[in-house]
Amino acid sequence: MNLKFPALVYFLSAVAIVFFAIAYPYKSIALAEVSQISVREAIAFSQLEQNDVIYLGENHDNREHHDRQLKIIQQLDRDSNTKPIAIGMEMFQRPFQPILDRYLANQITEAELKEQTEFDRRWGFDWEFYAPILRYARTHGISVIALNTPEEITQKVATTGINSLQSSDFRYIPPFTEIKLDNQEYRQTTKEIYLQHVEDGQGNSTDFDNFFAAQILWDETMADAIAFYYQNNPQSQIVVLVGKAHVMEDYAIPDRVSRRISDRTFSSIVYLQ
């Protein structure tokens, strides 16, 4: 399956939707009725504020999810008297962190941020889903963390495999020894979904190992970025905006972040919309 990066994003998003229905997520709360109660009540009920990292699992194309993310961020920001908030975003790849920083410092415009991060090509979902969150972050001095793997690396792994990576490829991804491909349950579930897509004419099964490695690399890279920020800013509370499939038990980001953090007081929670 030789997928260009935008196609890979959409394919993995499709896998995420199916996968979410199969494997119930890690340490999670699902407040499906949040629209019927206030955000303050939802936060009090879920005890989001008690955690160092809060994962807000989303469907990328659902405007309501993004509106709710902003409301939760605003409430956390208002309620947090001591902990500064940071927002981790799957939507931006790690090489573009300096551009995000310049936007937050009012050195470039929103249009320049969108253009210079190549948002439309590298992510592809509606900018206006995320723009209000970025505007709020800039207005209120909230850090934003670019979490994702550079598409050039993801595409290389998806096409030629994890073992094709060279030393220069590891600038924005964790060391090879930290990329764990050994979860057999995750592998089997992903393979079943992958083969169904193959039957539907969306690729061939000969490259499943590469596809699976690309999925794991996304998770490990984002986990690495979250853990790195937390270790350097232990008093911060990190709100992570990410697709639902990236927050599954033993499969993806939460487990891989915890593996990197030795602090026994560290805690995280997954909020599913």
- Residue range 61-78, pLDDT digits in tens: 999 999 999 999 998 998
Number of domains in the chain: 1
pLDDT value of position 21: 33
| Amino acid sitting at position 95 | P
Per the CB < 8 A criterion, the answer to whether 94 and 169 are in contact is no
Instruction: Please check whether residue 255 lies inside any domain of the structure.
Output: no
Chain segment 164-209, per-residue pLDDT in tens: 999 999 999 999 999 999 999 889 888 887 888 777 766 544 589 9
Instruction: Please check whether residue 263 lies inside any domain of the structure.
Output: no
Instruction: Please check whether residue 146 lies inside any domain of the structure.
Output: yes
pTM above threshold 0.75: yes
pLDDT value of position 198: 78
Domain of residue 104: give its range.
Answer: 5-244+268-272
Instruction: Please check whether residue 250 lies inside any domain of the structure.
Output: no
Instruction: Please check whether residue 84 lies inside any domain of the structure.
Output: yes
Beta strands of the chain (E only): which ranges? 28-30, 53-58, 85-93, 143-148, 237-243, 268-272
The set of residues, in sequence order, having a beta carbon less than 8 Å from that of 181 and lying 6+ positions away, is 162, 187, 212, 213, 216
Q: What is the arithmetic mean of pLDDT over 207-219?
A: 92
More confident residue, 94 or 251: 94
Q: What is the arithmetic mean of pLDDT over 147-168?
A: 95
Provide the percentage of residues in the chain whose pLDDT is more than 90.
64
Instruction: Please check whether residue 209 lies inside any domain of the structure.
Output: yes
203: region left, alpha or beta (phi > 0 left; psi from -120 to 50 alpha)? left
pLDDT value of position 106: 98
Instruction: Please check whether residue 252 lies inside any domain of the structure.
Output: no
Is it the case that residue 23 has pLDDT exceeding 60? no
Per the CB < 8 A criterion, the answer to whether 257 and 268 are in contact is yes
Instruction: Please check whether residue 262 lies inside any domain of the structure.
Output: no
Chain segment 257-268, per-residue pLDDT in tens: 999 999 989 999
DSSP at 163: G
Q: What is the mean pLDDT of the chain?
A: 84
